[in-house]
Amino acid sequence: MEIGLDQYGVEFTDFWMASLDTYHKKYPERLERPAHIPNRVYLDRYIDAPNGSTLYWDIPSVVLMYNLSKFTDNESYKNNAHNYVKSFMENCIAPNGVFLWGNHYYYNAFVDSTVKFGSEPIPINIPTEMGNMHEIRPFVPAWDVFWEIDAKITENEIRQAIQNHLSDKNTGQFNRHAEPGKHAFLEAGGVLVYSLAWLYDKTKDISLLETADKIINYSFSNRNKRTGLIPNSPTSGRWDSFTSTTEVGLWSGCIVNASKWATKEYAEKWINIAEFAVSSWLNFGWDQNVNKYYGMLNISDGSWIQRENDYPYMPDNHSNLWHPLFPRHDYPMSFAETCLSLYILTKKEIFKESCIRWKSIIKSELPARMGMGAYAEHYGRVIWFLLSCAEELEDISFRYLAEEVAEESINVLFAHDMFRGHPGENRYDAVDGVGILSLALLWLDSNQKPDLMGLYF
């Protein structure tokens, strides 16, 4: 709040800068990362928002600020976050209502303009921009925050953006971008479904659930009928068209949570689909030789797909809790959280067994990354899962392990009076997930689960 606001360019704003030098307490003088820092995002993309601000990746921190105000009776945290979101909504929306955010847009504070990138970022012309590169994955925005500020603008963003994401409105085929395309990533579909169900809860417009149901059915209909495994992206024509990963857990988790807002008929159907999808994956996904889950499964027979190349955007041979790079279509803790949710709903031992296995994997892999330390997001996701299990399974051993992970995260990342996002460098980056870690630590320390305000990660 003291050093992270936009004080660059000609116009100073309430935008939060996406990066900070945590030692010198200012924006980093050098944009490039040292060679020993592992890549966090696409090697040739600008998701980390150089010279700018990226609200999508700041959303967990926005939610944190709202919760800090509740926990401390200090409104300055909430006010700071409110002003940030309000400034975004005043400056970064296309004429059709689509938010200019996500993994291809950000606000460049040095040139006082929203920029768009496939490769190199270029300033956009707001009056003619359609938001076609709108892409929000892997987590769902905290829609409650936006609704509180302007319900009409929020509703229009969800309706218009999702309509644009649909490649075929009849079948529910969708694209990761808000334009027709063939990359129907499960994680992207899950975000769309959750958002539609959330908006239904506000408006009671049944057409929103009908659209959500079509999107779910599209992915589910592409499952292999023998194994039940769902491909990550059925029409891409690439490796992910015949491969299933832990991304199915993130997708199923979005569906389970979306069902909380749906009608009874849709809710029952969606929960059954999620149960089928995750249990099918669990039937093939466990490698008993090393006590880990596989990274990739062939949907046709459930066999383990071993990596034969160095292509960075696919999982390792086994699901990796700590791998820094996004996107790799590997979401172990989201998968684990979904197993917990399904156990609560169904009481089936297959899901509880998976939670216990994930706990064992976590314990066996500490300290993180073979002692090198992990990114903030990954520590946060692990702590959040363990606390969820401790509460729902009434097993204190999960909490003890959460405390162990928390201590490590603080030792690795807290320096110079603030959290850095990754070890080995005095740097904070929004994409590193400090907000997720902070929410988890807030829960651990206070014994009160924060209100995620619609956020789902």
Q: Residue 384 to residues 147, 359, 441, 447: CA-CA distances in angstroms?
A: 25, 12, 8, 12
8 A C-beta contact, residue 92 and residue 55: yes
8 A C-beta contact, residue 236 and residue 312: no
Q: How confident is the model at residue 213 (pLDDT cuts 50, 70, 90)?
A: very high
Q: Collect all residues with Cβ–Cβ distance below 8 Å to 32 and sequence separation of at least 6.
A: none
Helix (H, G, I), strand (E, B) or coil at 215: helix
Beta strand 418-419 with 414-415: parallel, antiparallel or unpaired? antiparallel
State the CB neighbour count (10 A cutoff) for residue 63.
26
More confident residue, 434 or 310: 434
pLDDT in tens, 352-406: 999 999 999 999 999 999 999 999 999 999 999 999 999 999 999 999 999 999 9
Q: How confident is the model at residue 125 (pLDDT cuts 50, 70, 90)?
A: very high
pLDDT in tens, 418-427: 999 999 999 9
Helix (H, G, I), strand (E, B) or coil at 297: strand
* 12: pLDDT strictly greater than 90: yes
Share of the chain above pLDDT 90, in %: 95
Q: How confident is the model at residue 64 (pLDDT cuts 50, 70, 90)?
A: very high
Q: How confident is the model at residue 230 (pLDDT cuts 50, 70, 90)?
A: very high
Q: How confident is the model at residue 87 (pLDDT cuts 50, 70, 90)?
A: very high
Q: Residue 212 to residues 173, 194, 195, 263, 452: CA-CA distances in angstroms?
A: 11, 8, 9, 12, 22
**Up-side HSE of residue 169: CA atoms within 13 Å toward CB?**
9
**CA 89, 95, 98, 103 torsion: positive or negative?**
negative
Beta strand 105-108 with 52-53: parallel, antiparallel or unpaired? antiparallel
Q: How confident is the model at residue 42 (pLDDT cuts 50, 70, 90)?
A: confident
pTM over cut 0.75: yes
* 119: pLDDT strictly greater than 90: no
Mean pLDDT score of the chain: 97
C-alpha span between 186 and 76 (Å, rounded): 38
DSSP per position, 20-44: EETTTTBS-S--SPPTTSPP-S-TT
Q: How confident is the model at residue 329 (pLDDT cuts 50, 70, 90)?
A: very high
